[in-house]
Structure 1
Amino acid sequence: MRDAFQKDTFQQIYEKYHQDVFKFLFYMVKNREQAEDLVQEVYIRVLKSYEKFEGRSSEKTWLLSIARHVAIDWFRKNKTIRERIFDKFDWDQQQIMDYKPLPDELALQGEQVQQMYHALDACTVDQKSVILLRYLQELSIAETAKTLGWTESKVKTTQHRALKQLQKQMNIIAEEREGFLSEKTRVKY
């Protein structure tokens, strides 16, 4: 009876939060196949530790906390691989597919979303985690703090620094693009 309950509970958790976990990991590692592998690692850890889940936070924040730790472990093991993936990510060739519909910003791959996506590379892992949890996963400050095991003030500080870093990177990208377009225009005439 207990195994059936665990199987049903696990299935419900998977169906309810799979897309959130996948999106979070995809934005962290910027590779569909790697994100899928890491999602599997998350659910292996969930199976091993669900009995210890005390419900002090929501299941979503608990899962995203596990996902963040899985991503950090992957970054530590694959530092040079991570740098190659970030440098060679190609929006035209990369397609994100999953069983559920894609987020609008990824499906449309608008220019501003692409720039923001690339600007995230300038952020630390902590900053990126906060941005993804707050704005992609739409967690509150309190939920983000629980997910990360931080104080709310640390989340606010990290969020502030991350937004400043993103703004700086977006300005650099805009200047580079503007310079490129100006140069291209001069070459034509």
Structure 2
Amino acid sequence: MPKNRLEAFTDAVIAIIMTILVLELHEPHSDTFQALMTLAPRFLIYIISFFTLGIYWNNHHHLFQAVHKVNGRVLWVNSFFIFFLSLFPFVTSWISEYSNSLVPEITYGVVILGANLTYYVLARTLVASEEDEKASIKELFGNYRKSYLSIGLNVVGLILGVLVAPIAVLLVNVVILIAWLIPSRKIEAYYR
């Protein structure tokens, strides 16, 4: 089946998630800079979540540019990917309310781990399902080092969050975010 509906649906869902994410930011309780500064941790966590979602959208977009058709398995894996992304407003709100608390931090890390795992499975499913275009898709997305690194760092962040300090989960996910901000040279060259 054509990929257009899946791409349009995913784009719409991510846009809605990002909109809901900003709705969780509430105005200060007074009209002073001091009141605004008390919201700084919430803004920081919002920025981290917003750009994490943006990176997922960007990578999803690149992934599907190289694909012409999808099958039922791709639809289901994409649905699980969207499921984890849909939890971002909840975990972002919770972690911003209780920053450096174990359960919210671990939950945030598990949601990101779930999104990373399902994105990885989605890429592998697309590589496996595209017979006629397999060479170009496999060439572009067949190297999963960045995904392996992200998933491994997610697990390390969760362990550090439990054993050292809950904030380690968020800090490790910022490192992952920075790693994904650097675009793949192969993909950039392919789409020129």
- TM-score where L is the length of structure 2: 0.31
Larger of the two Rg values belongs to structure? 1
